[in-house]
Amino acid sequence: MDIFLVVVGFMCVIVGVLGSFLPVLPGLPISWLGLLLVHLTTAVSINYTFLGIWLAVALLVLILDYIIPAVGTKKFGGSKYGVYGTTIGLIVGLFFPPLGFVLGPFIGAYVGEMLHQQNSKVAAKAAWGSFVGFLTSSFMKFIVSLIFVGLYFWKVSANFEGLFPFFYR
């Protein structure tokens, strides 16, 4: 059973890395699940504080992932209409993978600003801010998901003999 949990845990942390770029997948919670599965083995001991801290990090980054594109729109001169457009574009973009993830917030911010000010220069700047916010949040998720992969390998390698005793006979 331990080997099964280790293999499924590995698949979870890899899917978590993919989820850092594909908003359809909640990458960080899936990566954290990989750590939890390793904890459930009899050979690896991960304490609850460790798991709790990394769960909090995963949830914080997950929340920030939805906030950062809107903040980027606002930072680049967008109004609340651009922020609303970014959020709506992000949601609509989920239905048109893979380009919808990137173009949805951008187009949403642009349309929102055009409805508000009808100034294409301001709208384009706000849309660019949305795109920068999207890239920032994706990069942040990617870094944290790589940390989860590292934590996974750290915990598994430290307990390799207990997980795979048949290699040591």
Q: What is the pLDDT of residues 61-102, one digit of tens each?
A: 988 988 887 788 788 888 888 878 877 887 888 788 778 877
Quick one: DSSP state of residue 47? -
Range of the domain at 75: 2-164
Residue 45's contacts (CB-CB under 8 Å, 6 or more residues apart) are: 39, 159
- For residue 169, being part of any structural domain is answered with no
- For residue 108, being part of any structural domain is answered with yes
- For residue 25, being part of any structural domain is answered with yes
- For residue 135, being part of any structural domain is answered with yes
In three-state secondary structure terms, 164 is coil
pLDDT at 115 over 70: yes
- For residue 29, being part of any structural domain is answered with yes
